[in-house]
Structure 1
Amino acid sequence: MIIILFRILIVAAIILLVYTFYQYYRNPKRKLHIAKANNEFYFLDEPDNSKKNLLFVYKGCSFEGEKYLGTTEQAFEVVNIHVFVHEPMELKGFTRDDLYFLEKEILTRYPYSKIEWKHPVNELVLTPIE
């Protein structure tokens, strides 16, 4: 009887390990960290949840955007997105073209939104092109 119980516990432990590995592999935050390490672009968002912030990584720099719901002519949509950088020192080497790319990616997902960049990115956007 003890041997059968021990075998059941071993099978349950194996199933738990497989399930834990599967959940770890599917975790979107892990994919975000991998994209940051590889200097790739990755966009993490729940479009159906307007209360959850959007996270994205581009060229090794992580950004976070706060979504604000508002009205359009048709329905309630995300109308404002305030984007800020977690580590401003990671912005080294960023150009306006990079910011335009990020704006384009955000606007493809939220076409009615107005993007507002927070400090220090807004300084690059607001300075005139010479």
Structure 2
Amino acid sequence: MVILIRFILFALFIFLIFRLIKYLLNPKRKLELAFDQKRFYFLDDKENVRKNFLLTYKGALFEGEKYLGTTSESFEVISIFIWTKTPDKLKGLTKNDLLFLEKEIKKAYPYAKIDWKSPMKELLQKGDENSINV
């Protein structure tokens, strides 16, 4: 009976360690942590074109929808639409911030044409304003 209890405790200990490691390496947790710390983080499953990507920067959360198409040599993601999940957090973002995000997305999807939805679209179209006013 004592051996059985020891085995169960050992199995429970191994299970708890496994769950802790799985929690610490979870990409969603890393995204939430970066969102809270107002850092850049890009969460994407590049193998699954149908799954949208999430990115956070300076406390704003963005979602991007990918569309597959053809290039001259292969099938690639050729179009991306990006919108914000937190429009109230856009205050203080500049055109340069959005261009930085475009550059980071282009690293993952070099053939993609990036289209922003409102209000980021209006900021990129205007050359004289410096920040987004929500």
1:11-62 CA distance string (max 9 Å, x none) = 1110110000010000001111111111111111122221121111100111
Matched, 1:34 2:20: no
1:74-118 CA distance string (max 9 Å, x none) = 100000111010010000001100011111111111110010111
The amino acid that maps onto 2:10 is V
Q: Give, in whole Å, the separation in 1 of the partners of 2:88 and 2:125.
A: 19
Give the CA RMSD over aligned residues: 1.1
Give the TM-score normalised by structure 2: 0.92
The amino acid that maps onto 1:13 is L
Q: Could you list the runs of 4 or more consecutive aligned residues of structure 1 that deviate by over 6 angstroms after TM superposition?
A: none
Residues 1-130 of structure 1 mapped to structure 2, 5 A cutoff = 2-129=1-128
Q: Give, in whole Å, the separation in 1 of the partners of 2:27 and 2:89.
A: 21
Q: Give, in whole Å, the separation in 2 of the partners of 1:35 and 1:128.
A: 30
Structure 2's unaligned 5+ residue stretches are: 130-134
Matched residues, number: 129
Per the alignment, residue 132 of structure 2 pairs with none
The amino acid that maps onto 2:103 is K
Give the TM-score normalised by structure 1: 0.94
Structure 1's unaligned 5+ residue stretches are: none
| Percent identical | 50
